[in-house]
């Protein structure tokens, strides 16, 4: 009876876990298929990037008290305000920054040996063709053999339950809808 009861409890936990994962996937699919309803407004991309960098950092700290990383900004002070849907561009920034923090903090053992602290950097600059926003980290990088897949829906390198594989796909679609491009280096 005890063995069966333990199995029931274990199965209940697994069902709950996978139910939550299915819920995340459905919500992600809905967000992915959502048509743009937001209004484009003149937006200070430096402020937006700074806001989402801090939101990401503090959000990860709230989820995991052991999370620790440095972050830096390098914003072009001459950047003009641009017409974008701030919530959508914010979602892109949040996806990229969260991924960067996760990538550089997964290498804790490496950083302890090298004494190099995990670091995420967000920068903006005006280019001849528009405005460039860069998010970089000092994590282990993305293997060459998957770089061409990372913007595909449902592709993820994260363990089961850690990601839906829709974040970068959604980011790609949002940037494209704004007339921009997104790339990985």
pLDDT, tens digit, 9 for 90 and up, residues 65-99: 888 899 999 999 999 999 999 989 998 999 999 98
Output Rg (C-alpha) for the chain, integer angstroms: 19
d(Cα 72, Cα 53) in Å, to the nearest integer?
9
CA dist., res. 118 & res. 162, Å (int): 20
pLDDT digits (tens, 9 = 90+) for 9-25: 999 988 888 777 777 77
Taking only the tens place, the pLDDT of each residue in 27-43 is 666 665 555 567 889 99
């Amino acid at each position: 009876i005890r063995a069966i009861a333990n199995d029931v409890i274990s199965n209940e936990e697994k069902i709950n876990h996978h139910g939550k994962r299915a819920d995340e996937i459905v919500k992600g699919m809905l967000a992915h298929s959502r048509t743009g309803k937001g209004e484009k407004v003149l937006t200070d991309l430096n402020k937006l990037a700074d806001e989402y960098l801090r939101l990401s950092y503090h959000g990860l700290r709230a989820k995991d008290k052991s999370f620790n990383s440095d972050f830096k900004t390098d914003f072009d002070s001459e950047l003009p305000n641009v017409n974008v849907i701030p919530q959508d561009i914010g979602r892109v920034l949040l996806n990229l920054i969260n991924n960067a923090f996760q990538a550089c903090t997964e290498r804790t053992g490496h950083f302890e040996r090298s004494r190099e602290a995990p670091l995420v950097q967000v920068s903006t600059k005006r280019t001849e063709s528009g405005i460039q926003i860069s998010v970089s980290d000092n994590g282990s990088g993305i293997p060459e053999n998957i770089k061409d897949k990372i913007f595909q829906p449902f592709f993820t390198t994260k363990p089961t339950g850690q990601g839906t594989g829709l974040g970068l796909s959604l980011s790609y679609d949002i940037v494209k809808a704004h007339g921009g491009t997104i790339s990985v280096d």
